[in-house]
Amino acid sequence: MDYFKKQLDLLKTEREEDRRSYKQMTESTSVADRRANGLTWYPIAIRGSEMSRGDYLTVEVERTTHQDLPHQLRFGASAVLFSNHDPKQDHLEGTITYQGGNRLKITLRTDELPEWASDGKLGIDVLFDDNSYDEMQNALKQADALQDKEPEGRLIKILTGEKKPVFHPDITPYVNPALNASQQSAVNKILSAGDLAIVHGPPGTGKTTTLVQAIKALIKQEQQQILVVAPSNTAVDLLSEKLSDEGLNVLRVGNPARVSERLMSLTLDSKVSEHTSIKEIKRLKKQANEFRDMAHKYKRNFGKAERDQRKALFDEARKIMKEVGNTEQYIIDDVISKAQVITATLVGANHYTVKNLKYHTVVIDEAGQALEPACWIPILKAQKVILAGDHCQLSPTVKSDEAARKGLSTTLLEKCTALHPESVTLLEEQYRMHATIMGYSSSIFYEDKLKAHASVAGHLLFSEDNPLSFVDTAGCGFDEKLDGTSTTNPEEAVFLFKHLTQLVTALGEHYQPKDFPTVAVISPYKQQIQLLKEQLQHSPLLQPYADKISVNTIDSFQGQERDIVYISMTRSNTENKIGFLSDIRRMNVAMTRARKKLVVIGDSGTLSQLGFYADFITYAEHKNAYQSAWEFMDV
C-alpha cells in the first residue's frame, strides 16, 4: 500500500518549500530584517547560566529592545547564539528550552560560554525547524512499517480506510445534565468506541466543553493516563486549563504560549521544582557550578599544572551533573506517573521526557488544523484515537502550493469523517450566533442541522436592529489595487469605517462605554488590514471605543467571537477575479465570528462569480438585509 509513501513525498515537497522560504528570509538579510520577520531577538543580554544535563550549558537571556515584535522563537526550536561583531565566526548552536515574555533559556552544546559572549552585540536566531519535519517523517515511516503487524496495525488500517471501526454499545449510557443532547451523544460515542470516535464541532457548539467532559468520563472508565494533543500551543493551553479546573491532575509538556501562573503550575518544570527530592538536586547543582567557576579561573594561565587542575575540576563538575541527571530522571518519572492527563502539541508528544510512553487513548483537538503527518506522532502511541475539530473551517497552513494541491492540506479528520461516518457525532446546538447569522453557514456547510440555542437565537444589539447586513459597493467605483503581492481597496476601507462610525453613534443611545459591544473588523488580505488599522486611527468618533475594536485577518480570529463583525471583502474588478476569496472555508470562519450583528461589505458584481457568494447575497435579500452603499453616500 502506497498510502504512507505518498504522505512522505508530500512532506518532502513541503519541507523543501519551507526551507527555501526560510533561506530567502535569512540569507543576505540584515539582523534588523530578520528581527522584523520574527526570526531573531537582537540585542539581548545574558541574565544567568547554569550547567545542565549532558555537559551542556543553559543560558537565560532577555531581549532588551523591540519587545513588542512578534517572533517565532519557541520552546523546542533549534536556535543559535551569535555575536554581531563577527556572526560568521562567533556563533553557538543550541535548543530553546523555555520561552516566556521577553526571556528565554537556550541550552548550548558547550560546557562554558565563549569569550566573545562578554563583548556585547549578542542575538539569537531561530534555525530552520528540521526537528518537526524529522519527527513527522519518522512517524510516517514507522506507521508504514507497522501497518501489517497485529495488534499495532489495526488502528492504522482503520484510519487509512482498510478496516472498519468497532463499537461496544453495551456501555452504561453517559448522562450529564450540563450537556445538551448532541454533546451527550458525542461523549457516549467516545466511551463506546473501540478505536475511533470523531467529534465534529461547528462554530459555537461547545466542542471544548464536550471534550473535557468526555476525557473525565474516559479516565473514570479506563483508569489510565490519557494523552491530549492539539496542533497549536494556544489550543493545548485552553484544554490544559479546563481539564485542570475539573480537578484532574494535568501535566503540560512543553512551554505554554500564555504565561499565566495557572498554566505554568501545570508544567513539568513547575511540578519538578515542587518535588520532595528537589533540595538534593539544588545542592548538587550549586556544587557543580562552584567547581565550574573554579575551573574558569584557570582560563588564562596555561601551564600543565593549571591545565590538569582545570580538567580535574571540570571532571568533578561533570560527575556531579551525572548524579543530578539520575536524580532528575527519577523525579521526572515520578511526576509523569502521577499525571492523569498529559497535554502537548502534536510534535511535543515526542518530547524526550515522554517519548517512550504508550496510552490507551489519545485525543487530538483542532484536528481540522493539523497536518496529517504530525497527527501520526501521537497516534502511534495509542490503541484508540478521538479526533475533534471542524473540517469546514480553516485547514492547516501549507507553504507549498504543490503539496497542498496534491493533498497535504486534506486533514486526517476530513478523510476519516468521509471514510467512517458511523464514528462521527455532529454537535448541533450553537451558543454564539443569532439564528439569521448562523443560517447561511448552516445550510452550506452543516446540512442545515445547526440550531441556535434559545439564549442566542434572537439576541440583537437593540430591538429594531437587523442582525445581518450585506452592503453592496457595486457601481461605486471602489476599485481594488495591487499593493505588492496583496490586494487592497482603499475606498472600501474608508467606507467601512464611515458605516461603523454611524453604527457606533446609534449604539451610543443604548450602551454605556464600559459595556459597549465588542467589534471585529476582518479581511482576508493582509495589506487591507494595514489600511483598515490606519483608517481606525483616523476615525476620531471611534477613539473612545478603540479598546473594543480589533482589526485583523480572518485566520487570526479562528476560535474567537465578537458582538459585531465587519468583513471587508476587498475584491472589486472588471475581470471578475476573486482569487483568495474562493476558499469558502475561510469565509465560513469569518461569517461565524459574529454574535449579534454581521456586516459584509463587498462588490456583488465581482463576488457573484462564485455561487457561494451569489447565494449569500440572495440569502441576505430574503432576510431584508441587502443594502447598496449608495444609501450611505450622502451622509
What is d(CA 630, CA 474) in angstroms, rounded to the nearest whole number?
Answer: 9
Q: How far is CA 43 from CA 35, 67, 189, in A?
A: 10, 10, 53
What is d(CA 441, CA 508) in angstroms, rounded to the nearest whole number?
Answer: 30
DSSP label at residue 267: B
Residue 635 has pLDDT above 60, yes or no: no
Q: What is the pTM of this model?
A: 0.91
**In the structure, what pLDDT confidence band is assigned to residue 285 with cuts at 50, 70 and 90?**
confident
Give the contacts of 175 (CB within 8 A, at least 6 positions apart): 184
398: region left, alpha or beta (phi > 0 left; psi from -120 to 50 alpha): beta
- Quick one: average pLDDT of 108-125? 89
DSSP string of 385-424, one letter each residue? EEEEE-TTSPPPP-S-HHHIIIIITS-HHHHHHHH-GGGE
Burial class (CB in 10 A: 0-12, 13-18, 19+), 615: middle
**In the structure, what pLDDT confidence band is assigned to residue 28 with cuts at 50, 70 and 90?**
low
- Predicted local distance difference test score (pLDDT) of residue 109: 87
Whether 433-632 and 38-128 are alike in CATH topology: the answer is no
DSSP-derived 3-state class of residue 92:
strand
Mean pLDDT of the chain: 93
Three-class secondary structure assignment of 337-350:
HHCCEEEEECHHHH
| Cell matching residue 336 | 509523569
Q: How far is CA 383 from CA 226, 360, 386, 513, in A?
A: 11, 5, 10, 53
pLDDT tens by residue, 227-276: 999 999 989 999 999 999 999 999 999 888 777 888 999 999 899 888 88
- Predicted local distance difference test score (pLDDT) of residue 276: 87
User: Hey, which CATH number is domain 38-128, 1.10.150.120, 2.60.40.350, 1.10.3720.10, 2.40.30.270?
Assistant: 2.40.30.270
- Predicted local distance difference test score (pLDDT) of residue 576: 83
- Predicted local distance difference test score (pLDDT) of residue 10: 98
DSSP label at residue 6: H
DSSP-derived 3-state class of residue 523:
strand
**In the structure, what pLDDT confidence band is assigned to residue 6 with cuts at 50, 70 and 90?**
very high
- Predicted local distance difference test score (pLDDT) of residue 297: 76
132-249+340-427 — its CATH code?
3.40.50.300
Give the contacts of 152 (CB within 8 A, at least 6 positions apart): 146
- Predicted local distance difference test score (pLDDT) of residue 87: 83
pLDDT tens by residue, 473-525: 999 999 999 877 789 999 999 999 999 999 999 999 999 988 999 999 999 99
Residue 72 has pLDDT above 70, yes or no: yes
> E strands within 526-570?
549-553, 562-568
Q: Measuring CA to CA, which residue among 350, 349, 397 is closest to residue 17? A: 397
What is d(CA 617, CA 623) in angstroms, rounded to the nearest whole number?
Answer: 10
The full set of domain ranges for the chain reads 38-128, 132-249+340-427, 273-337, 433-632
Residue 299 has pLDDT above 70, yes or no: no
- Predicted local distance difference test score (pLDDT) of residue 40: 94
- Quick one: average pLDDT of 352-381? 96
- Predicted local distance difference test score (pLDDT) of residue 243: 98
CB 124 within 8 A of CB 41: yes
Residue 296 has pLDDT above 80, yes or no: no
Residue 362 has pLDDT above 90, yes or no: yes
What is d(CA 293, CA 288) in angstroms, rounded to the nearest whole number?
Answer: 9
According to DSSP, the residues that pair with 78 across neighbouring strands are 95
DSSP-derived 3-state class of residue 467:
coil
CB 532 within 8 A of CB 495: no
Give the contacts of 111 (CB within 8 A, at least 6 positions apart): 51, 55, 56, 57, 292, 314, 317, 318
CB 47 within 8 A of CB 62: yes
Residue 1 has pLDDT above 60, yes or no: no
Residue 596 has pLDDT above 70, yes or no: yes
Residue 148 has pLDDT above 80, yes or no: yes
- Predicted local distance difference test score (pLDDT) of residue 301: 60
Q: Which secondary-structure segment (H or E) carries 311?
A: helix 304-338
Residue 461 has pLDDT above 90, yes or no: yes
What is d(CA 466, CA 621) in angstroms, rounded to the nearest whole number?
Answer: 12
pLDDT tens by residue, 329-352: 899 999 999 999 999 999 999 998
- Predicted local distance difference test score (pLDDT) of residue 323: 85
pLDDT tens by residue, 530-569: 999 999 999 999 999 999 999 999 988 888 999 999 999 9
What is d(CA 32, CA 239) in angstroms, rounded to the nearest whole number?
Answer: 36
DSSP-derived 3-state class of residue 486:
strand
- Give the dihedral of Cα atoms 380, 385, 389, 392; nearest 10 deg: 80
Assigned CATH class of 433-632: alpha beta
- Predicted local distance difference test score (pLDDT) of residue 634: 64
